[in-house]
Amino acid sequence: MTISSKQKDILQQFLISFIAVLLSLIVGAVIILAMGYNPISAYGALIKGSMGSLVSLTMTLKTSVPLILAGLAVAVAFKSSAFNIGVEGQLMFGGLCAGLVGIYVPLPGPLHLAATILAGMLGGALIAFFPAILNSSCNVSVVISTIMLNYVVQFFVQYCVMGPFHGATSAPATDPLLASATLPNILPSPYQLNLGFILMILAVVLIYIYMNKTTKGYEMTAVGLNRTASEFSGINVKKNMFMALLISGAIAGLAGGIEISGSLKRMVNGFSSGYGFSGIPIALMARNNPFAIILTGFFFGMMRSGSFLMQATVGVSSDMVGIIQGLVVVFICLENLIRYYMNRRK
C-alpha cells in the first residue's frame, strides 16, 4: 500500500516537531554542561522524576491536564486565525469562578460539581468575550487585547483572593471548596489522578469532532485558512472568530476549574504559573491537532513534574526546563529550515 500525500505531510510534520525537540534537548545539554553539571544525569533525573514510578507517572499526567487543555484552547482559536494569547488570564478567571461556586453555592450532590466546572468554563469564556466583541465590532487586534487582559485578570484575581474571599489561614488562598465540589480521584491512593483527566480526554475528542466533522468546524477552519474566500462564499468571518474565541476561553476556563476543583481544592492566588502561556508552544508543536496536543502537552507536563527531582538530585535549577521549552519554540519556528534540510537529503 502506498501512503497518500496527506499522510506523508502528517508524517513529515511529526518528524519536524520531533527534530525540534531533539535539537532543543541537545542545546539544553550543552547549557547544562556549561553550568558544570552532567546533562545525562540531569535528563535522567527529569525522566525518573516524571515517569520513574507509577506514582510519578500519575503525577505527571495530572500536571499535564491543564497544559493539554491550554494547548487545546490556543489551537481552537488559532484554527480560525484568532491568536488567543489570553489563555492564561481566562484560565485564572475560570479557576476563580469555579472556586467561588465550589465554596459559596452549595447545591445537592453531583449538581454542585457540575455547576463548579461549568462556572469555570463560563468564567473563561467571559474573559474571552471582551476581546472577541472588541474584535468583531471595532476590529481591535485579538493579540493585543488578549495579552493585555491577562494583567487585568491577574490583578483582579489577586484582589479577590487576598481581599473579599481570603480564607481563614494566612496563605494567599480562599477557604477550601466544599467536598461536593471537588473532582473525585479515579485511581486509589497514593495515585493522584482525578476525574479532570477524563474531562480533558472528553474535551479533546469533542473538539476534534467539532472541528473535523461539523459544518461549524468547516467554517472556522475555512476562515482561518482564507478569510477573503470565506467572506465571498457567505461565511460570516467575524462571527466565526467570535465563536472560536469563546470556545477557546471556555476550554481555558475548564483547565482552571479542573486545577482548582481537582488538584488544589481551593482557589490559590497565582495558581497557574504559566499554564496558559505554555499552551502556545504546546499547540504550535502539535500543529493544532487535538490528539497531538495530548502528546506535546504530556511532554511539557513531564518537564514540569520531573524538574523537581532534577533540582534535588543533580542540582540543576528547575528553571532549566523553562529554557528547554523556550528552545523548543525557537526550533519549531525554524520549521522551514528543518524542512529544507529534510527535503535536500532526498
Partner 1 sequence: MAEYAIELKGITKRFPGVVANNNITFSVRKGEIHALAGENGAGKSTLMNILFGLLVPDEGQIIINGKEEKFSSPRDSNRAGIGMVHQHFMLIPKLSVMENVIIGQEPGTSLKIDRKKAVEEVQAISDKYELNIDVTKKVGELSVPEQQRVEIIKVLYRQADILIFDEPTAVLPPHLIDEFCDILLSLKEKGKTIIFISHKLAEVMKVSDHVTVIRRGEVIGTRAICDTSIDEITRMMVGHSVDTGRKSRADIKPGKEVLSIKDLHYTNVEGNEKLKGLDLSVHEGEIVGIAGVDGNGQEEMEKCILGLFKPDSGQILFNGEDMIGHTVKERRDMGLGYVAEDRQKESLVLQYSVAYNLILGQHYLPAYSKHGFWLKKDAINENAEKLAKDYDIRLANIQVAAGTLSGGNQQKIVIAREANNDPKLYVAIQPTRGLDIGASDSVQDTLIRLRNENKAVLLISMELDEILAVSDKIAVIFDGKIVAVVDAATADKESLGYLMLGSKKGGNE
Contacting positions for partner 1 (CB under 8 A): 2, 4-6, 213-216, 218-219, 221-222, 225-226, 228-236
CB nearer to partner 1: pick between 214 and 273: 214
Alpha carbon of 11 to those of 15, 101, 297: distances in Å?
6, 45, 19
Q: Give me the least distance between CB of 216 and partner 1, in Å please.
A: 7
CB nearer to partner 1: pick between 33 and 342: 342
Spatial contact of 331 and 23, defined as CB atoms under 8 Å apart: yes
Q: Give me the least distance between CB of 344 and partner 1, in Å please.
A: 8
CB nearer to partner 1: pick between 189 and 345: 345
Q: How far apart are CA 125 and CA 123, in angstroms?
A: 5
CB nearer to partner 1: pick between 170 and 343: 343
Q: Give me the least distance between CB of 75 and partner 1, in Å please.
A: 16
Q: Give me the least distance between CB of 232 and partner 1, in Å please.
A: 5
Q: Give me the least distance between CB of 213 and partner 1, in Å please.
A: 6
CB nearer to partner 1: pick between 166 and 238: 238
Among residues 181, 170, 153, 163, the alpha carbon closest in space to that of 270 is found at: 153
Q: Give me the least distance between CB of 228 and partner 1, in Å please.
A: 5
Q: Give me the least distance between CB of 16 and partner 1, in Å please.
A: 17
Q: How far apart are CA 119 and CA 236, in angstroms?
A: 29
Spatial contact of 84 and 78, defined as CB atoms under 8 Å apart: yes
Among residues 232, 245, 220, 205, the alpha carbon closest in space to that of 125 is found at: 245
CB nearer to partner 1: pick between 163 and 232: 232
CB nearer to partner 1: pick between 114 and 229: 229
Among residues 236, 243, 257, the alpha carbon closest in space to that of 207 is found at: 243
Is the omega angle on the peptide bond into residue 190 within 30 degrees of 0, that is, cis?
yes
CB nearer to partner 1: pick between 9 and 54: 9
Q: How far apart are CA 217 and CA 220, in angstroms?
A: 5
Please give the helix or strand (H or E) that residue 266 lies within, else none.
strand 266-268
DSSP for 160-194, please give it: HHHTTT--SSSSSEEEEPPGGGSPPBSS-TT---B
Q: Give me the least distance between CB of 89 and partner 1, in Å please.
A: 31
Q: Give me the least distance between CB of 119 and partner 1, in Å please.
A: 27
CB nearer to partner 1: pick between 260 and 283: 283
Q: Is 189 left (phi over 0), alpha (psi -120 to 50) or beta?
A: beta
Among residues 11, 46, 10, the alpha carbon closest in space to that of 25 is found at: 46
Q: How far apart are CA 137 and CA 172, in angstroms?
A: 38
